[in-house]
Amino acid sequence: MTLEAVEIPVTPASTAALEVATAYCSPALLNHSVRAYIFAAAHGTDRGIAFDPELLWVGSMFHDIGLVAEFDNRTLSFDDASGHVAWTFAAGAGWPADRRRRLVEVVIAHMSDQVDVEADPEGFLLERSTSMDISGRHMDDFPAAFKAEVLKHYPRAGIAEEFLACFRAQAETKPHSSPAASLRDNIADRILTNALDR
């Protein structure tokens, strides 16, 4: 498994999604979004899980967009807000309604404890990759050399501290949000001890 073997989709929507993410995300959050796709696509390819690369890429670019100030919602949890931003982007990109709905499902699924791979392969892969990149779960999915190669090209750049600060801010203003629930479940310790930061 090598980084070069991971297919990055080249479509108008994929290119535009990266442009939006680059414009609004910090360098750390942008690199996390790209790593989320790479780890998800690599896992899917390695395990023979059929997935839609464009859908997974766009979902990866937007799954955390609700954490940035411009898209933070006063009442909705960031994952729900991210879904709304993704839906709006996809509508502008000309995606049909069913594909927009699938994109929202993928974005929201990344905060689930478990996702049915048969019902939502892209959501399953994104949940798995983001869980590893942020809280260190599923670390055995990849050999050390592959993880090192990905981090060399897309460094973490302080994502642990930045992400935890975002979650704490969300929890303070939205106590019923998924970040608040995650903090009650001690995600802070897992974020700060993620083996990817060693």
Q: For the chain, what are the domain ranges?
A: 9-197
How many Å apart are CA 189 and CA 194, to the nearest integer?
A: 9
How many Å apart are CA 89 and CA 79, to the nearest integer?
A: 15
pTM score above 0.85: yes
Whether the pLDDT of residue 198 is over 90: the answer is no
How many Å apart are CA 66 and CA 5, to the nearest integer?
A: 30
Query: What are 133's two structure tokens?
Result: 């990149």
At residue 36 the predicted structure's pLDDT band, cuts being 50, 70 and 90, is very high
Cβ atoms of residues 56 and 122 within 8 Å:
yes
Angle between helix axes 27-46 and 144-153 (nearest 10 degrees) is 150
DSSP 112: S
Cβ atoms of residues 3 and 38 within 8 Å:
yes
Angle between helix axes 78-92 and 53-62 (nearest 10 degrees) is 130
pLDDT digits (tens, 9 = 90+) for 90-135: 999 999 999 999 999 999 999 998 999 999 999 999 999 999 999 9
At residue 154 the predicted structure's pLDDT band, cuts being 50, 70 and 90, is very high
Looking up tokens 């019902």 gives 119
How many Å apart are CA 167 and CA 188, to the nearest integer?
A: 9
